[in-house]
């Protein structure tokens, strides 16, 4: 299996609109359908249960999903499940994919690699023909090894580690960790947010450490001084007093947090108690902090993060999606829901480009989609004119949001 190319980098994507490489003909741009008012009164499907679909003359195409719907990362998995289900419901209502209805089944992996592989095997037994998942990076890497062996098409909405998309059958919607790290440093430097930076990161997590490494590299180019770089691990992720004190003593004006929202919420609480009030800046793993149970969202006021989705954007697609999501689930969607929505529409566009039918097996579908993903162009919630290259990476412009009055506000 040939080694895949690394992403061209988010900085390039920010500067120019890139098209698929290799001389592939780019298909006509597909626009994700504006979300119709959802008929769901609550959850359309519980975790691990298939959505009810009406089998059309064209049969049924089975798309599986994997992510944490319980445990510490459940905010991510539930958002992905819900965003994907809204897209599936819309697609089915509009006639399906090449005349076939879509059946969607989502399995909980509790953000655990072994359980994610078990979930994958369960979906294979169900008859899955393509996978939308997994949600978090470590489980995604484990499952990607299995999908490569099986030649199963996989598109992860939010698995951002480089290794997630290392195989030619895997594509992603989100930016990779190195791209996020470089873009964060560039954003801080170009907007002159601070000159003295502290970083608190999880050295035991590939997502966090991957972002930090690239952030540190790009910080030198931006003239940023990292005055403190303090690590923690999964075994020491409750007390951050030492890291915060070192950042404070070093005179940090901004603290970069390339971590997940659970630990970030504790850091903000503990910083507040010590009177340490720098600017806090995060990446997509921060998205979800406003939904943490018993967290005072006032502590996140002014928090900034890079994300490809802002729920308060005024374009029709976002407005309709947010309304449908609120109607169905009684909450504002986070980036992960938008990632999943776009992932389902990317599968649809690629399947239509390839002429996929419901009677094709998973391997034949995978072979077809590996080519068609290089042809399509998607106007989605997380980017306009999104294209993919052979390395599985998306090309689109990033966005930044800031927490204002307890809500994400586009910068």
Is the pTM value of this prediction over 0.85?
A: no
For residues 411 and 400, what is the distance between their CA atoms, to the nearest angstrom?
Answer: 5
CB neighbours of 377 closer than 8 A, spacing ≥ 6?
19, 26, 27, 28, 29, 30, 385, 386, 387
Give the strand pairing for 407-410 and 394-395: unpaired
pLDDT tens by residue, 319-334:
999 999 999 999 999 9
Residue scoring higher pLDDT (108 or 7): 108
**Burial letters 371-396, b for 16+ CB under 10 A, else e:** ebbbbbbbbbbbbbbbbbbbbbbbbb
Q: Is the link from the previous residue into 199 a cis peptide, with omega within 30 of 0?
A: no
Place 35 in a pLDDT band, splitting at 50, 70 and 90. Answer: low
For residues 347 and 379, what is the distance between their CA atoms, to the nearest angstrom?
Answer: 13
With contact defined as beta carbons under 8 Å apart, do 83 and 332 qualify? Answer: no
- The predicted pLDDT at position 288 comes to 84
- Cα angle 180, 411, 157; round to 5: 40
- The predicted pLDDT at position 47 comes to 37
Residue the block writes with tokens 């539930």: 78
Which stretch of 11-25, 70-84, 316-330 has the lowest confidence by average pLDDT?
A: 11-25
Residue scoring higher pLDDT (17 or 399): 399
Distance (Å) of CA 386 to CA 158, 173, 196: 15, 9, 35
For residues 388 and 405, what is the distance between their CA atoms, to the nearest angstrom?
Answer: 36
Q: Which residues pair with 306 in a beta bridge?
A: 400
Q: Which helix (H) or strand (E) holds 170?
A: strand 170-172
Tokens of 57: 């003359």
pLDDT tens by residue, 138-179:
999 999 999 999 999 999 999 988 999 999 999 999 989 888
Of all residues in the chain, what percent carry a pLDDT higher than 70? 87
For residues 304 and 212, what is the distance between their CA atoms, to the nearest angstrom?
Answer: 16
Mean pLDDT of the residues in the chain? 88
Domains of the chain: 58-174+311-395 (3.40.50.2300), 176-306 (3.40.50.2300)
- The predicted pLDDT at position 400 comes to 81
Place 100 in a pLDDT band, splitting at 50, 70 and 90. Answer: very high
With contact defined as beta carbons under 8 Å apart, do 184 and 283 qualify? Answer: yes
With contact defined as beta carbons under 8 Å apart, do 183 and 14 qualify? Answer: yes
- The predicted pLDDT at position 57 comes to 67
Closest CA to 216 of 233, 228, 232, 204: 228
For residues 161 and 332, what is the distance between their CA atoms, to the nearest angstrom?
Answer: 26
- The predicted pLDDT at position 34 comes to 60
Place 31 in a pLDDT band, splitting at 50, 70 and 90. Answer: confident
Tokens of 142: 């484990």
- The predicted pLDDT at position 40 comes to 40
Strands (E), 304-360: 304-307
Tokens of 260: 């997940």
Place 98 in a pLDDT band, splitting at 50, 70 and 90. Answer: very high
For residues 324 and 103, what is the distance between their CA atoms, to the nearest angstrom?
Answer: 20
pLDDT tens by residue, 271-303:
999 999 999 999 988 988 998 989 999 999 999
With contact defined as beta carbons under 8 Å apart, do 353 and 378 qualify? Answer: no
């Amino acid at each position: 299996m040939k080694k895949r190319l690394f992403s061209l980098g988010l900085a390039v994507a920010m500067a120019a609109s890139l098209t698929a490489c290799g001389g592939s003909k780019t298909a006509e741009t597909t626009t994700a359908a504006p979300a119709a008012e959802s008929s769901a009164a609550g959850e359309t499907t519980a975790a691990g249960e298939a959505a009810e679909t009406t089998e059309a003359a064209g049969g049924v195409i089975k798309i599986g999903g994997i992510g944490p719907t319980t445990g510490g990362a459940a905010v991510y998995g539930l958002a992905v499940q819900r965003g994907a289900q809204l897209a599936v419901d819309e697609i089915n209502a509009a006639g399906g994919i090449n005349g076939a209805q879509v059946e969607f089944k989502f399995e909980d992996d509790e953000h655990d690699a072994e359980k994610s592989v078990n979930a994958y095997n369960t979906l294979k037994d169900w008859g899955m023909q393509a996978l939308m998942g997994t949600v978090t990076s470590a489980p995604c890497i484990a499952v990607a090894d299995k999908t490569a062996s099986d030649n199963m098409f996989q598109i992860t909405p939010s698995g951002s580690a480089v290794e997630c998309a290392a195989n030619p059958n895997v594509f992603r919607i989100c930016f990779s960790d190195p791209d996020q790290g470089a873009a964060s440093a560039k954003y801080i430097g170009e907007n002159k947010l601070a000159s003295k930076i502290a970083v608190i990161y999880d050295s035991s997590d590939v997502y966090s450490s991957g972002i930090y490494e690239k952030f540190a590299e790009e910080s030198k180019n931006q003239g940023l001084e990292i005055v403190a770089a303090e690590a923690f691990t999964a075994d020491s992720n409750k007390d951050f007093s030492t890291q915060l004190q070192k950042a404070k003593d070093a005179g940090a004006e901004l603290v970069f947090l390339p971590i997940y929202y659970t630990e970030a919420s504790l850091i903000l609480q503990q910083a507040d108690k010590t009177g340490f009030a720098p600017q806090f800046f995060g990446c997509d793993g921060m998205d979800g902090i406003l939904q943490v149970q018993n967290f005072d969202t006032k502590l996140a006021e002014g928090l900034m993060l890079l994300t490809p989705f802002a729920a308060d954007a005024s374009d029709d697609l976002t407005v309709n999606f947010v309304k449908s999501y609120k109607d169905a689930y009684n909450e504002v969607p986070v980036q992960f829901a938008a990632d999943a929505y776009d992932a389902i529409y990317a599968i649809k566009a690629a399947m239509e480009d390839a002429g996929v039918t419901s009677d094709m097996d998973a391997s034949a579908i995978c072979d077809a989609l590996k080519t068609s993903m290089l042809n399509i162009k998607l106007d989605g919630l997380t980017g306009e004119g999104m294209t993919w290259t052979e390395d599985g990476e998306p090309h689109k412009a990033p966005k930044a949001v800031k927490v204002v009055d307890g809500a994400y506000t586009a910068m």
